[in-house]
Structure 1
């Protein structure tokens, strides 16, 4: 069963994780009337273990997977056993809700039943505003594993990383019996305190963190100049307004600094989001070609999305940074840019969530979030449980600065006494870009490597186009 502080992100959050990759909303069929309950079997109907419910009058034959009376009887018996023998009294509504949740969670980790609170949370998540810590989590072996932290939130500022595991909440150990109840504590009123005991990936030492919940307003897009001529675009998740926000912020950067020679698109630890937002972002960087297709059993689940003319970067080279927290909608964008040979993908293999969830309403206060389709990259590849392999694999490495001036403090000819002055046409002392490169490498090694690759691509691409006035 999937859990998420965006717990049902229509992301395909429609979490695409889980993230919900959101497909178009469909109207739910009117609920079918429930059959009348009866303690007695209808006349002429055997209650033998192997008997199936007979086909409706006039039908050719019962379906091969018809529900057997044996199964109905087992369900009824288990219900009665729980009602009579469970250590604490359990109400019928609680048991029925648990049965529905069990049925859906048995299908896959992303299908779920949404009550009024779940629907309200879904609405909050797709707008990017809620009160909590700023993390997406999912159940793994009775514990809560961090799928990804959201940028500039209590979780990210505390050093929580994708792959970490929450083992305690407010000092109480997480077990399969209390995981639902403890999960709910991740959200709460802004200003309220919570303690998490986590274990970092590849570590066995628990760390206790004390955090304060905040009203999380997630700006999904950040754009800045990485260095003159090169843009940095960070998308933390895919919300309703992500594509419009990207167009606005990147347009502002271009008006200020001119058309960039290249751009790094950072999708690391992006848990996904809405299908429509992923399509819009991919379309912003493509002039033509396919973006994604979806296939399911229902006719409305079979869709194809293609790019329209209008590349915001005018064909300038792109490098996309990904890691094991890149999921769902973020994988759609990565796959579209890779298959169309629009960008080089660098980093680690992505999460591998290649299925789409749709929210189907049952009534005004209840709905089912159910997996309705698989999605495929333009080349027809399903990344479900496989992920996207980067063009340039890049391990997670840390870089530290070392003294490069040698044992005598001499790092270049200019450090030697009585060296001859430069007689060229340059004036003043040239700028040493090594310090800036070192600072970026020590702060974010994958990003520094992406920038180096981007510069190489830009050399072959030529100068950016000059805007007409």
Structure 2
């Protein structure tokens, strides 16, 4: 049964933990068999085991009592205690959090693939809201919101001082209601205003198409419970169209998702070896996942696309395929979300929860990508390509007197396809430069692949 981010106690998840503007999207985790991760070293304990720091507890109760008795406005005990809980977690790391009832609901919605809002993954940065990625096919993506945008105002409300949680609440709303985002974008001379109409967000986690003869494209926008099956269906569907000779796996701007889905996708392209493992202080945080013997991809050449918006579960897949030298990873350095969160329901009422960082995950070679990210084998930055016009001066063969003409039949049979391919390449080059370069690399792998060469692709050895 796949691990998913639900409200069940002790559900282990490797959360991307980048709060969405419409749901709290927490990314996948890690599992399974070889090698077994060794228990992490426990930090030095500063007080005797089992004993509480009584002086600090007295200070806490004294502060609590003084706020209740002396603060300018009355505050109830529940509010004070919830603020204290939130404060304990806010100062640990960016991904540990106190989850109230509505946060739990958003967590479930994000892994089921349907929720309401704008369709952007966001996080806090210097008092503003940074767009980590717009989700494919959502109102925000269609309106032109881009990864890296800084939101400074929601309608007429400035973001600074508002806080991430309140900003998220303002971005939510009824379906059909518009909201204007004022954003700062790198390279723009002044702030931009983008109006987005709220809608029910139904995320299709996998899309596919053929890029060229025998060369396929699979895009994963986020890792949901059934993503592994959907990628397998995409491979089989493209194989029905024609012989599949290679695939570009696009993980750009993929914020993560369900861990088991990341393991399932990796397993489709590997036939043995470790995929990912975790190490933490508690026994159930030391886990590992390995590939099964089946190889649905049949070892076809593979290129993986990543960028700064590729996080968590995306990095698990890219790291595993890179370490096994099963794929060439191209693009730009990934986000660097390499921690695991455990989500537990609070026994007090069952409606609130605690999301606590309990482990780090590691790629098969033992790399922790926490705050480091996955470095691509070939760095290809996104770019806008402008083609120069070719000079019309000078002579060509066709301008020479008595030049030989090609056979008309050969022109119609062989010239047409070459022309169409050139036009398609030029269009892809202009619209998506990184994908264009990925396709070129995939073509090279396909042409250089020797019969019976097996699953591994010959790549230079990785350091670290």
- Per the normalisation by structure 1, the TM-score is 0.83
The more displaced of 218-227 and 174-183 is 174-183
Question: Offset at 1:427?
Answer: 4.8
Match of 1:439? 427
Match of 2:369? 383
* 2:173 alignment partner, one of 169, 188, 191: 188
The more displaced of 289-298 and 14-23 is 14-23
* 2:386 alignment partner, one of 400, 405, 410: 400
* 2:436 alignment partner, one of 428, 431, 448: 448
| Deviations 1:423-454 (CA, angstroms, capped at 9, x unpaired) | 69935251323222111100000100111111
CA distance 1:397–1:62, shift in 2 (3 Å):
closer
* 1: CA distance, partners of 2:295 / 2:399: 48
| Deviations 1:76-103 (CA, angstroms, capped at 9, x unpaired) | 3333444455555433222222211111
Say what the alpha-carbon RMSD is for the aligned residues: 2.8
Per the alignment, in what secondary structure is the counterpart of residue 455 of structure 1? helix
* 1: CA distance, partners of 2:164 / 2:270: 43
Match of 2:54? 69
Structure 1: which 5+ runs fail to align? 1-5, 26-60
| Deviations 1:367-392 (CA, angstroms, capped at 9, x unpaired) | 11111110000001100000011100
Question: Offset at 1:68?
Answer: 2.7
Match of 2:268? 284
Asked if structure 2 preserves the Cα contact closer than 8 Å seen for 1:171 and 1:197, the reply is no
Question: Offset at 1:319?
Answer: 0.7
Per the alignment, in what secondary structure is the counterpart of residue 107 of structure 2? helix
The more displaced of 208-217 and 80-89 is 80-89
* 1: CA distance, partners of 2:294 / 2:410: 41
* 2: CA distance, partners of 1:452 / 1:110: 38
CA distance 1:400–1:88, shift in 2 (3 Å):
farther
Match of 1:30? none
CA distance 1:287–1:88, shift in 2 (3 Å):
same
Match of 2:461? none
The more displaced of 455-464 and 324-333 is 455-464
Asked if structure 1 preserves the Cα contact closer than 8 Å seen for 2:30 and 2:263, the reply is no
* 2:318 alignment partner, one of 334, 338, 348: 334
Question: Offset at 1:203?
Answer: 4.6
Asked if structure 1 preserves the Cα contact closer than 8 Å seen for 2:262 and 2:316, the reply is yes
CA distance 1:88–1:262, shift in 2 (3 Å):
farther
**In the alignment, does 2:306 pair up with 1:300?**
no
CA distance 1:89–1:383, shift in 2 (3 Å):
same
The more displaced of 278-287 and 111-120 is 111-120
Match of 2:22? none
Q: Which has the larger radius of gyration?
A: 1
CA distance 1:190–1:409, shift in 2 (3 Å):
farther
* 2: CA distance, partners of 1:263 / 1:320: 9
**In the alignment, does 2:119 pair up with 1:128?**
no
**In the alignment, does 2:315 pair up with 1:314?**
no
* 2: CA distance, partners of 1:314 / 1:463: 13
CA distance 1:294–1:427, shift in 2 (3 Å):
same
| Deviations 1:311-361 (CA, angstroms, capped at 9, x unpaired) | 332111111111111100000000000000000010111110101112111
Question: Offset at 1:107?
Answer: 1.0
Match of 2:219? 234
* 2: CA distance, partners of 1:172 / 1:16: 25
Match of 1:107? 92
CA distance 1:442–1:81, shift in 2 (3 Å):
farther
Question: Offset at 1:168?
Answer: 0.9
Per the alignment, in what secondary structure is the counterpart of residue 309 of structure 1? coil
**In the alignment, does 2:75 pair up with 1:90?**
yes
* 2: CA distance, partners of 1:417 / 1:142: 72
* 1: CA distance, partners of 2:72 / 2:393: 77
**In the alignment, does 2:359 pair up with 1:359?**
no
Match of 1:20? 26
* 2: CA distance, partners of 1:132 / 1:211: 10
Aligned length: 421
Per the alignment, in what secondary structure is the counterpart of residue 380 of structure 1? coil
* 1: CA distance, partners of 2:355 / 2:329: 31
Asked if structure 1 preserves the Cα contact closer than 8 Å seen for 2:47 and 2:53, the reply is no
Asked if structure 2 preserves the Cα contact closer than 8 Å seen for 1:171 and 1:196, the reply is no
Asked if structure 2 preserves the Cα contact closer than 8 Å seen for 1:287 and 1:310, the reply is yes
* 2: CA distance, partners of 1:173 / 1:11: 36
The more displaced of 309-318 and 100-109 is 309-318
* 1: CA distance, partners of 2:232 / 2:131: 30
Per the alignment, in what secondary structure is the counterpart of residue 189 of structure 1? coil
* 1: CA distance, partners of 2:90 / 2:399: 68
| Deviations 1:181-231 (CA, angstroms, capped at 9, x unpaired) | 222122222212212111113556221111111110101000110111100
Match of 2:38? none
